[in-house]
Amino acid sequence: MSMSFSVRVVDEDGNPREGVRIYSHYGILHGGHAEYTDEEGWATFEPSGDYTSVEIMINGDSQGEYSISDSETFSFTL
């Protein structure tokens, strides 16, 4: 099954943050993948496995673990 999800990062004024490192971690056995936000503050992930949860880390800091489904979006303010 193919799936994707997106993470957006904005500043306190709601402006997009470009170049922020987002790491998605799928568990000890599955590892993870890093992307950087684009000029609109978005990073998109297309995991190759059939995962149901992900830990989202921004610049090395965990933002928590979330359930994921296809086309899911998450937004964080830094």
Q: Which of the four pLDDT bands, split at 50, 70 and 90, describes residue 1?
A: low
Are 63 and 38 in contact, with CB atoms under 8 Å apart? Answer: no
> Residues 59-69: pLDDT tens digits?
999 999 999 88
Q: What are the residues whose beta carbons fall under 8 Å from the beta carbon of 23, sequence distance 6 or more?
A: 32, 33, 34, 56, 57, 58, 60
Q: Which whole-number Å values give the CA distances from 23 to 44, 69, 76, in the listed order?
A: 11, 17, 13
Give percent above pLDDT 70 in the chain. 95
